[in-house]
């Protein structure tokens, strides 16, 4: 499964960072890249990273225990943390945004030339923003507001909502929980709001609460449910 593989990759990267960081970064301090500054990247272990307005970062931003904050009009490479949130302001240009335990918020008018992924955390992608590849998590709400995703949107236990004409060019996938200890779980709530579009299919490996606006377009419902199981609604929300 995509997100579990990524979780292992992030954890492995964190261990490598613990060994490498004294040579080119800060071990226990926060890092600040000032507004308008050019930087080749930044890393720390126990600290946050912030990038100021209009700054350009050609390399990666990496921390283990800390948040990453990007101010508006900045350009960055990959942003990756293990235990912390990622906050991206408006009109930012970035590559991949990845965390394990933390939420990710992408401001309006931002371009992500990669994926947006967390394991345990909420994902919000603001109006006019685009994500070239996938958006996914295991647990946590995913909300796309007037934004576009070029790949798939996937979750296991999280709710998904497309609002204000959001577009998913791939599939929306709700995966079946794995492991013996999941027990009885609440059904995720999937809402495809007015004017929104899923060019692929809604692929369900488990039952969900599925709501599709009468003005939305979807490429079908597959798996353990069909389009007949969807609740069609009028208005902004069901």
What's the pLDDT at 180?
53
What's the pLDDT at 28?
80
Mean pLDDT split into 10-residue runs, the chain, 238 residues: 44 46 62 97 95 97 96 98 98 98 98 98 98 97 98 97 98 86 78 98 98 98 98 94
Do 118 and 140 form a contact (C-beta atoms < 8 A)? yes
Token readout for 101 is 């335990």
Can you spell out the DSSP letters for 77-99? S-EE-SBS-EEE-TT-EES-EE-
Do 82 and 99 form a contact (C-beta atoms < 8 A)? yes
What's the pLDDT at 6?
46
Contacts of 228 (CB under 8 A, 6+ apart): none
Residue 125 parent element (H or E) = strand 123-125
Do 57 and 33 form a contact (C-beta atoms < 8 A)? yes
Contacts of 23 (CB under 8 A, 6+ apart): none
Cα distances (Å, whole numbers) of residue 46 to 35, 84, 118: 23, 10, 19
Provide the whole-model pTM.
0.90
- Residue ranges per structural domain of the chain: 1-108
Q: Find, among 154, 160, 151, 157, the residue nearest to 139 by Cα.
A: 157
CA 138 – CA 217 distance, rounded (Å) = 25
């Amino acid at each position: 499964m995509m997100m579990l593989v990524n979780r292992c990759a992030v954890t492995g990267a964190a261990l490598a960072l613990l060994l490498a960081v004294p040579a080119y970064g800060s071990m226990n301090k926060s890092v600040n890249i000032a507004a308008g500054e050019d930087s080749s990247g930044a890393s720390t272990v126990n600290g946050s990273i912030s990038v100021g307005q209009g700054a350009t970062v050609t390399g990666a931003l990496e921390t283990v225990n800390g948040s990453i904050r990007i101010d508006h009009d900045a350009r960055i490479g990959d942003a990756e943390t293990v235990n912390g949130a990622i906050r991206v302001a408006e009109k930012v240009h970035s590559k991949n945004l990845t965390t394990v335990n933390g939420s990710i918020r992408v401001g309006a008018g931002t371009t992500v030339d990669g994926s947006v992924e967390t394991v345990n955390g909420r994902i919000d992608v603001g109006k006019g923003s685009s994500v070239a590849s996938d958006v996914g998590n295991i647990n946590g709400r995913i909300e796309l507001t007037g934004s576009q995703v070029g790949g798939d949107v996937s979750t296991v236990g999280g709710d998904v909502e497309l609002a204000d004409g959001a577009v998913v060019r791939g599939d929306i996938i709700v995966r079946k929980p794995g492991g013996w200890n999941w027990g009885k779980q609440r059904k995720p709530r999937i809402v495809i709001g007015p004017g929104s579009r899923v060019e692929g299919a809604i692929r369900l490996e488990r039952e969900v609460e599925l709501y599709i606006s009468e003005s939305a377009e979807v490429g079908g419902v597959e798996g353990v449910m069909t389009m007949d199981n969807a609740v069609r609604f009028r208005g902004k929300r069901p």
